[in-house]
Every structure is written in C-alpha cells, then in structure tokens.
C-alpha cells in the first residue's frame, strides 16, 4: 500500500513531476560528465601508455617523451647499456622529427606536406600499429591512416612512394636532399594528435635524413618477466643520471599532478550539480508535501504511523529521482560525446587521449550520489510533516 501511494502520487501532478525529473536528470547528467572528466584524462593516458607494452620511458633530462624537440645524444652507448641490463626484455628507441613530404610521382600543382616522422627499430617499436602492409625497413616509409574526409566521402588513396626530405628542404621540383621512398604500408599512431600527419621510418633512415646519426628522442623499455618496472626505472635512473628514466606508473602520477586542477574543477562542478539536484528535490518535496498537510494529518489521525508516512514520502521522492538519474546517465553519455569532440581539438593532444571515458563505476557513483542526495533532501520536509501536531493541522485544514 505504501508503494502504491508513493508511485501514484507523482502522476497526480504531471507538470510538477516532469519538471522535477527533468531538473534532476540534467543535474545527474552534469554530475556524470564531471566525474568522467575528472577521471577520463588520467584513465585514457594510462591506457595509452600501457597499450604500447613498454613500462619504462627514457627521455632527455628534464623532459617527458615528445614533450620538447630535445634529443638524447650518444644514443648508441645508452641503448647498448640498456639492452645489456638483465632486467630489461626489450628496448625500443624512437627519434621524432618534422619532415616535408610529397607524393611521388608528383603532379606539378601538388604542394608538399609537413609530416611528423617517427624513426623506429623495426624489430621493437610501440608507437604505432600496422593496419596495412608491413613495418618500414631501411629506406621505406609507413604512412599514417588518413582520417575520413569531413564530407563523409571515401578516403584518399595512399601513394606507392613519396618524396621526403628534412623540413622545408623539398622546395619545388625534386628538392635538394630529397629521398624517394617506397611506402611499406599504413598504421595507426598512438602518440600523435589529430592535427598531425604521422609517418614512420626505420630509425637509421630518419637519423640519416635529419643528420642526427647518434640521437634518439626517447626510448621505450620493457621490463623482463618478474621485474618490477618502478624498481627497474629507479635502478636505471641511478646509472644514467644524464637522462630522465621513469616508469609508466610515475608518468601517470606526474600527469595526474599536472591535471589535478582539472580534477578539482570537475569535482567542484559535480558537487554543485549534486547540490542543485538536492535543492530541487527538497523544494519539490516541500511543495508537494505542503499541498497535502490536511490529508497527511488525517492519515495520522486515523492511525497511520509516522514511519509509514515517512516511508511513503521517501519512496515517492526516490522513485522520481531514480527515473531522473536513469535519464540523466543517458543524457550525460550523449553530452559527453559532444563535449569530447570539442575538447579533443585541444592542440597537441594524442588522438587516443580521451577527456570522457565511459565507466560503469562512475555511472554507479552518479546513480548512488543522486539517490542519496534525493533521499536526504526529501527527508527534511517528510520528517517535519510527520512531527506536525495533528489536531492543530486538522483545525487549520478543516473549515
């Protein structure tokens, strides 16, 4: 009977109920988005780093991988030392450079493109995945997957070979120092932003093209089975103080520290939206209950207990909030995709980094937070009405 009363009462005032549900749904959506935002960057950054399968990163002192254009000099000695370490399973050096590229044979009018080139060891690399063809060998090039054209048409065809040279060295015609390279295949690059055009070359080829024969931008290191990456990173860092050696865990921690303002902002906005939901539920509950003072006082007069009335009013509020938060979660997921598209245009962000990562745990926290807030917000007016003196209320309500 309690359930029947609680579930039917909101239907008596559809406009008011709709307003309450819509308001709580919007607050729930905002809370979900803010919770996703507070966690999304870290989660996707961690996933991105772990995806490559190398747990330790070596970069020039004072920098993070691909953070600056600085390189590690005397890389040959460092790589040899890393490979000799018994705690190391695999070493994947990477050199990054901006190059100029043009499809070959060229049409007269075709302009050169600036590309972001990554030189890798074909046997050990973790910066791209081959999606067609094969890893580039010496003198070959792998092109990044072309994003689909914005008009939704078919992607442009991949050339068989390209001309490539140090950045700005192509000029018109063949260009001095340009090399013609067959395309070995295409791939999806992990650490490049949407605005960059990535290509991959064999490390030696890129070192030769950029005249940096003994330099790398960073090195990815995989720990041997049973070796703790954090311990390995600490040990290697002690042995190589001239470079920066950190584990993925440490990188994620650093990223979290750098992005803490983001988390704080998201948590504050999430809390505000929860507060708004609470105020809305409290206001609607107060209005709805004050409309029924006479009926509630009469119910108590005929012997309905305070507990039954309290339970009815709380279930009534929770039922509306449950519908609202379900709609809010759906709405929040939709808006997060829209917001993701806006925020992913932030310059320099790897394409794989996401601001909003859908997560069942976060959805559950949102639902629980909204329901607890709704229950607490409705508890005040519900408690008050059960404490009102029956006789006085009836005197006031009866003519």
Partner 1 sequence: MKPLLEARELHRTYDLQGEPVHAVRGATLDVLERDFLALVGPSGSGKSTLLHLLAAVDRPTSGSVRMRGRDVSSLPDRLRARHRLLNVGLVFQRFHLLPMLTAQENVELPLAEAGVRRAEREARAAELLARVGLDDRLRHRPGELSGGQQQRVAIARALANRPSLLLADEPTGELDRTTGEGIRRLFAELRDDGTAIVVATHDVHLAEAADRMLWMVDGRLGEEEP
Q: Which residues bind partner 1 (CB under 8 A)?
A: 1, 4-5, 8-9, 11-12, 294-295, 297-306, 308, 389-392, 394-395, 397-399
Nearest 5°: the CA angle 39, 44, 49 is: 130
Q: Closest CB to partner 1 among 2 and 322?
A: 2
User: How far apart are CB 315 and partner 1 at their closest, in Å?
Assistant: 13
User: How far apart are CB 317 and partner 1 at their closest, in Å?
Assistant: 15
User: How far apart are CB 298 and partner 1 at their closest, in Å?
Assistant: 3
- Cα–Cα dist 84/82, whole Å: 5
Q: Closest CB to partner 1 among 129 and 395?
A: 395
CB-based contact 100:165 (threshold 8 Å): yes
User: How far apart are CB 147 and partner 1 at their closest, in Å?
Assistant: 56
User: How far apart are CB 303 and partner 1 at their closest, in Å?
Assistant: 3
Q: Closest CB to partner 1 among 339 and 394?
A: 394
Q: Could you tell me the CA-to-CA distances from 211 to 20, 67, 205, 238 in Å, in that order?
A: 67, 21, 10, 30
- Cα–Cα dist 216/71, whole Å: 6
CB-based contact 262:38 (threshold 8 Å): yes
Q: Closest CB to partner 1 among 258 and 307?
A: 307
Q: Closest CB to partner 1 among 337 and 395?
A: 395
Radius of gyration of the chain (CA): 31
Q: Closest CB to partner 1 among 303 and 360?
A: 303
CB-based contact 338:297 (threshold 8 Å): no
- Cα–Cα dist 367/314, whole Å: 16
Q: Which residues contact 303 (CB under 8 A, 6 or more apart)?
A: none
- Cα–Cα dist 374/193, whole Å: 42
- Bridge partners of 221, per DSSP, are 56, 91
User: How far apart are CB 354 and partner 1 at their closest, in Å?
Assistant: 46
Q: Closest CB to partner 1 among 131 and 295?
A: 295
User: How far apart are CB 385 and partner 1 at their closest, in Å?
Assistant: 14
User: How far apart are CB 310 and partner 1 at their closest, in Å?
Assistant: 13
Q: Closest CB to partner 1 among 90 and 300?
A: 300
């Amino acid at each position: 009977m309690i359930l029947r009363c609680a579930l039917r009462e909101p239907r008596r005032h559809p406009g008011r109920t709709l307003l309450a549900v819509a308001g709580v749904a919007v607050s729930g959506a905002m809370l979900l988005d803010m919770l996703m935002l507070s966690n999304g960057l870290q989660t996707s950054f961690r996933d991105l780093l772990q995806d490559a399968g190398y747990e330790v990163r070596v970069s020039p002192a004072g920098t993070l991988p691909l953070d600056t254009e600085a390189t590690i000099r005397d890389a040959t000695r460092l790589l040899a030392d890393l490979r000799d370490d018994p705690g190391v399973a695999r070493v994947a050096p990477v050199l990054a450079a901006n190059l100029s590229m043009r499809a070959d044979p060229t049409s007269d009018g075709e302009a050169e493109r600036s590309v972001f080139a990554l030189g890798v060891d074909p046997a050990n690399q973790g910066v791209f995945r081959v999606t067609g063809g094969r890893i580039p060998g010496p003198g070959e090039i792998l092109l990044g997957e072309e994003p689909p054209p914005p008009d939704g048409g078919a992607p442009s065809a991949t050339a068989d070979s390209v001309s490539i040279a140090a950045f700005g060295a192509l000029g018109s015609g063949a260009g001095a120092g340009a090399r013609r390279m067959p395309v070995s295949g295409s791939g999806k690059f992990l650490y490049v932003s949407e605005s960059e055009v990535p290509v991959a070359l064999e490390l030696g080829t890129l070192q030769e093209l950029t005249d940096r024969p003994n330099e790398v931008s960073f090195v990815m290191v995989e720990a041997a089975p049973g070796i703790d990456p954090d311990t390995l990173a600490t040990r290697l860092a002690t042995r190589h103080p001239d470079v920066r050696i950190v584990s993925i865990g440490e990188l994620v921690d650093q990223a979290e520290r750098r992005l803490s303002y983001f988390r704080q902002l998201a948590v504050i906005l999430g809390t505000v939206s929860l507060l708004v939901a609470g105020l809305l539920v409290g206001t609607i509950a107060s209005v709805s209950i004050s409309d029924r003072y006479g009926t509630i006082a009469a119910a108590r007069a005929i012997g309905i207990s305070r507990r039954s009335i309290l339970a009815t009013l709380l279930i009534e509020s929770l039922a509306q909030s449950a519908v609202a938060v379900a709609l809010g979660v759906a709405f929040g997921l939709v808006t997060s995709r829209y917001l993701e598209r806006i925020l992913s245009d932030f310059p320099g962000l790897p394409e794989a980094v996401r601001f909003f990562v859908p997560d069942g745990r976060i959805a559950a926290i949102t639902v629980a937070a909204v329901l607890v807030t709704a229950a607490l917000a409705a508890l005040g007016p519900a408690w008050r009405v059960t404490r009102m003196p029956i006789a006085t209320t009836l005197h006031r309500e009866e003519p």
